[in-house]
Amino acid sequence: MLKIISLFIFRIKGWKIKGQIPPDIKKCVIIQAPHTSFYDFFIGWLASNIIRKKFRFMIKKEAFFFPLAGLLKACGGVPVDRNQPKGTTKMLVDYFKKNEKMYLVITPEGTREYTNNWKKGFYSIALAANVPVLLGYIDYKDKICGLSENILYPSGDYDKDFEIITNFYTGRQAKYPEHFNLSTDIQFQENNKKE
């Protein structure tokens, strides 16, 4: 029933789904970008109902209070402590190890507002869990919620891999284009070397 309702809303709003998770991929990190509006979550949630895939996504632990906690978990929410980024990576890597299937959606922008650089947690998690990265997008110009056909297997060379990511997302239109930025943090590799 949820699939039928979601499909109906998609059709009357003029949205389409393009691409899919390859059947042989049971675990992956999915980047969702651009992310400039709460409406992005709603579109992604409808799409997940249509394709019948359960996605997991991170939400700050403070949001998990009664009665919202049950709803968030049912929708795939995973509580995280934003003050403990290293602990979050380990926790999510453990999730990947414990689950036969796990599709973790991450918005690397980390905010719906303009940001000078993407957060690199998605890359660290995929690398540590030894899972691929799928490039998901919500393009408001063409009204497409989709996935890239190409699968990114993190090489450990972030700059090289981020160039692939940048090329893919260039030209995708956010709901609020002025809030979308494709920049990387040059401190990322230096910080990783210190760990």
Residues 6+ apart with CB under 8 A from 171: none
pLDDT of residue 50: 92
Q: Which of the four pLDDT bands, split at 50, 70 and 90, describes residue 140?
A: very high
Query: What is the value of pTM for the model shown?
Result: 0.83
Residue 186: pLDDT over 60: no
Q: Which of the four pLDDT bands, split at 50, 70 and 90, describes residue 184?
A: low
60: left (phi over 0), alpha (psi -120 to 50) or beta: beta
- Inside any domain, residue 64: no
Average pLDDT of the chain to the nearest whole number: 85
C-alpha 185/C-alpha 48 separation (Å) is 31
Whether residue 138 contacts residue 44, with contact meaning beta carbons closer than 8 Å, is answered with yes
Could you tell me the two tokens for 189?
């590799």
Query: Which phi and psi angles does 139 have, rounded to 5°?
Result: -105, 110
Q: Which of the four pLDDT bands, split at 50, 70 and 90, describes residue 108?
A: confident
- Model pLDDT for residues 38-94, shown as the tens digit of each residue: 889 889 989 998 998 889 888 878 878 877 888 888 878 888 877 776 688 888 999
pLDDT of residue 121: 85
- Pairing mode of beta strands 56-60, 133-139: unpaired
pLDDT of residue 47: 92
Q: Which amino acid is at 14?
A: G
Residue found under tokens 């497409």: 144
pLDDT of residue 9: 94
pLDDT of residue 151: 93
pLDDT of residue 183: 64
- Inside any domain, residue 63: no
- Inside any domain, residue 66: no
- Inside any domain, residue 59: no
- Inside any domain, residue 161: yes
Whether residue 57 contacts residue 105, with contact meaning beta carbons closer than 8 Å, is answered with yes
- Inside any domain, residue 184: yes
Whether residue 26 contacts residue 58, with contact meaning beta carbons closer than 8 Å, is answered with no
Least confident residue range of 11-20, 101-110, 133-142, 174-183 = 174-183
* Structural domain boundaries, residue 183: 11-37+84-194
Q: Which of the four pLDDT bands, split at 50, 70 and 90, describes residue 125?
A: very high
What percentage of residues in the chain have a pLDDT greater than 70? 92
Q: Structural domain tally of the chain?
A: 1
Q: Which amino acid is at 96?
A: F
- Inside any domain, residue 169: yes
pLDDT of residue 195: 42
- Model pLDDT for residues 144-174, shown as the tens digit of each residue: 999 998 899 999 999 899 999 989 998 888 8
- Inside any domain, residue 56: no
